[in-house]
Amino acid sequence: MRTAFLRDPVFWLAMGAGPLGWLLLRELGHVRPATDWAGLVLVVVTHPLLEELAFRGWLQGRLLTNASGRTRRYGISRANFLTSLAFVIFHLISQMSLWALLLLFPSLIFGYLRERHQSVLSAVVLHMFYNAGLYGFLPSA
């Protein structure tokens, strides 16, 4: 069942971490609420969906096909780590470096959930939730 992740306490722990991250980033001045509905849909729906399909679905999936990609250290696969580095580099193109570097942590969580649930669906839902909090529901400091 594709929604089995909804019964996973690890998924809900990751969801609960979102508001803590939002508050930290707001204090650092990195929250930029969307100014219109189109912008909100773009950052809350479109970007997470496309990014998760590309990074966790395609890239991480490809890296997991060989034994080296499945090697784990501290519970994180090499495929997840390399995919997360690519995710950060991708974001360095359009965002300031500290912001992009901080994305390593949620990216590792997205990748962990992708492997745990053998699907990108939980990573997509979590990514949408994280972006919704940052860009839609949390006022800037």
**DSSP labels for 109-134?**
HHHHHHHHHTSSHHHHHHHHHHHHII
Range of the domain at 123: 9-137
pLDDT for 78 equals 97
- Is residue 88 included in any domain, yes or no? yes
**3 in a structural domain:** no
Q: Is residue 81 part of a domain?
A: yes
User: Is residue 1 assigned to a domain?
Assistant: no
Residue pLDDT, tens place only, 13-65? 999 999 988 887 777 776 667 678 888 889 899 999 999 999 999 999 999 99
Domain count of the chain?
Answer: 1
Neighbours of 117 (CB within 10 A): 18
Long-range contacts formed by 104-107: CB under 8 A, 24+ apart: 106/21, 106/130, 107/55, 107/83
